[in-house]
Structure formats: C-alpha cells, structure tokens
Amino acid sequence: MFEARLLQGGLLKKVLDSIKDIITEGNFDCSPNGLSLQAMDSSHVSLIDILLESEGFEHYRCDRNIPMGLNITNLVKMIKCAGSEDIVTIKCEDKPDNVTFLFESKDNDKISDFEMKTMTIDDEHLLVPDQTYTAVVKMPSAEFQRLCRDMAAIGDTVNISVTKEGVRFSTTGDMGTANITVRPNPSGDQKEEERTEVQITEPVSAGFALRYLNSFTKATPLSPTVTLGMVPNLPIVVEYKIADMGHVRYYLAPKIED
C-alpha cells in the first residue's frame, strides 16, 4: 500500500511541468524514503532525476518499493484539474493496476478523485554515479532561464566556460556570436538567492545544446536558484532544489568537438 499526502499540491504541478517536454512516460519509484523518478528522453541525450522525500509530505506510507509506471502526458492533464492550493493525495496498492489521485480544496468544499491506469515500463538500467564536480555555479534561476533563451536566439550550442573569475556563456550562429559573462558577487548586498557563486577546483569548458538547456529551465518556478555542476568530459548537471522536499536534476551529455 502506498499513500502520500502533499499539502502544497501546486508543487506537483510544477514538477510535472518541468519534465513534460522531455519524457512522455516514466516509472515513479515509490520507496519508504520518498518518491523518485529517473528517466532519459527518447534520444538518450538528457536524463531527469526527481526526488520528493517522504519528510516533505504531510502523511507518507509506503510498505514496500513499488514501481508506478505512468503516462506523463495524461498525468499532466489530470493534475490540471487540481487547484494549485489543493491538497493532493496519491494512493495505490502494492501491485498497482491503477493509481488514485485525490484533490481536496483548501477550504474543503470540493473533493475530486481521479483514477489512472498504470503502465509497465521497462526502464533501461540507469546508474547515475555520485559525482564531485570540479566546477559548481549557483546563480539565480530566472537569470539562467533568460540567458539560455537569449543565447538560443543566436546559436544552437552554448559553450560554458567556468574559471574562478566567473562563468562565460558563448554561442555562435549565422548572425554572429554572443558572449555573456556572469561574475560571482559574494560581497554584494543582494539576498542569498540573488547571488552568483562559483566554487572551482579546476577550470572547465564544454559545449551543450541550448534546446535541452531551455527545456530544463521549465523547472525555474520550483526554485529561486539553479546549480550547475561540471567536470571535464562528463555530462553537466542542472539542479533545481525543492525547498524541504528534494530536487529536480537534469543531466545533459556534452557536444564533442569533431
């Protein structure tokens, strides 16, 4: 039996909105310590890693690990019926043929329940190793979203180069080139979440497809900051922390110079 009650149902909408352009179905792994999902897009160029820890739920019961295969597109349609202030409860049996979603309005004057069939999805066996990153950049998520959008107007690939001076985003296209350098501003009197911070043990520079980075920025509403992790010749990780709950992480394979 699995039952999880989330007071801020709007959070679930934001999480689903942050992945719906990348995957159409996914196996949610319900385990005693939380709800997680790991899935690659159809081209295997990007991977999504979601974790919603059990502590973030108002009530959480999970007797044993349950793979809950769901069609993301249908899930998004169904969750649209919930108000963003609704309390959402997710329930299913141990060998679930279907999952029930319960939406309770804030002042409890409207209760809706939806039942969705589960699907059997044979996952590739993914293993995302814990990685220490030689360059970690934490910056305002809205700024990163704006930057990726502006760069995509000019080129398809952005080269991200991190040194202790800061992060330089460069792109080239038919109309020309664009470079944006973001400098760390630790001294600034900005709030914590408006600062750009760079921790670096080794400079790193790599190229990534802007199309994917732009789809990752759909997670911007989840967190005021975004963290980029880079290691030479490895995929980049783009992480949006969900306060007191977990994270949505995206991994993107680099483009290799021919």
Partner 1 sequence: EGSQETLDFYFLDV
At its nearest, how many Å lie between partner 1 and the CB of residue 251? 6
Residues forming contacts to partner 1 in the complex (CB under 8 A) are 40, 43-47, 124-129, 156-157, 207, 209, 234-235, 251, 253-258
**DSSP tag of 63:** S
159 Cβ neighbours under 8 A, 6+ residues apart: 168, 169, 170, 171, 205, 206, 207
State residue 192 phi and psi, 5-degree precision. Answer: -45, -45
The minimum distance between CB 92 and partner 1, in angstroms, equals 27
| Nearest CB to partner 1, comparing residues 44 and 95 | 44
In the complex with partner 1, the residue whose CB is nearer, 174 or 189, is: 174
What amino acid occupies position 44?
H
Q: Which is nearer to partner 1, 39 or 62 (CB)?
A: 39
Q: Which is nearer to partner 1, 108 or 233 (CB)?
A: 233
Q: What is the three-class DSSP state of 116?
A: strand
Cβ at position 223, least distance to partner 1 in Å: 23
**DSSP letter, residue 19:** T
**Cβ of residue 175: shortest distance to partner 1, in angstroms?**
15
Q: Which residues pair with 25 in a beta bridge?
A: 71
